[in-house]
Amino acid sequence: MFTGLVDLATISNFQEDQNGYKLCVGAPALDGLCKKGDSVAIDGICLTVVEQQASQLVFYVSPETIQRTALLNYKTGKTVNIELPLRPTDRLGGHYVLGHVDCTGNVTSIQATATSWFFTIEIPEPFIRYVVYKGSIAVNGISLTVNKIQAGEIELCIIPVTLEKTNLSSLQIGDLVNIEVDILAKYTANLLPKHG
């Protein structure tokens, strides 16, 4: 389980491997904090460390993960968001993020103002119903608040510190992002029809 409060890392290698892909990430912020078998979120995708050398972390990525996320479009040198799992003693500064990406969203608009940036992201129909105004959503693993919902799209208001500490600053119109809707919404939607 994660909170959506991330650090930055860089993809040092990404290539097709036997039955999947091998992803290598340089993560100086996590140097000495990870070992083989640990879970780490990369742009909101929960992956398991299969090798670790100093600040280099290596992950195996399954074909299922490639199909459901934006990872297939990633290249060596790309900046990604990275996060270690929540510990029971940590502050919960974001929201509960599982690292199980539901879908990808398409960036349709980016508007900069003097004090903030507004991102509009199109979310596929099966998942937009789980998004609520002023509710939480994870975009590339970042815990964000929904500013507006309209016609299958959400708007996010991003403050300068979030833009500085995440890879949102590198997004362009047409980019795909990883979306994880709030787990509480999914459980509620699943339970209501069963229990009236």
**pLDDT value at position 195?**
63
Claim to verify: residue 114 and residue 191 sit in the same structural domain:
yes
CA distance 115 to 11: 30
Strand partners, 17: 20
Residue 68 located in a structural domain: yes
Encoded tokens for 46: 């929960």
Query: From the CA atom positions of the chain, what is the Rg in Å?
Result: 17
Shared domain check, 61 and 139: no
Q: What is the pLDDT of residue 196?
A: 57
Q: Specify burial of residue 82 (Cβ count, 10 A radius: 0-12, 13-18, 19+).
A: buried
Give me the domain span that covers residue 31.
7-83
Domain count of the fold of the chain: 2
CATH code of the domain covering residue 186: 2.40.30.20
Is the same domain home to 170 and 119? yes
Identify the pLDDT of residue 189. 83
Q: Is residue 92 part of a domain?
A: no
Question: Average pLDDT by consecutive 10-residue portion of the chain (196 residues)?
Answer: 93 90 93 92 97 92 93 94 89 86 97 95 95 95 96 96 95 97 87 71
Q: Are 144 and 4 in contact (CB under 8 A)?
A: yes
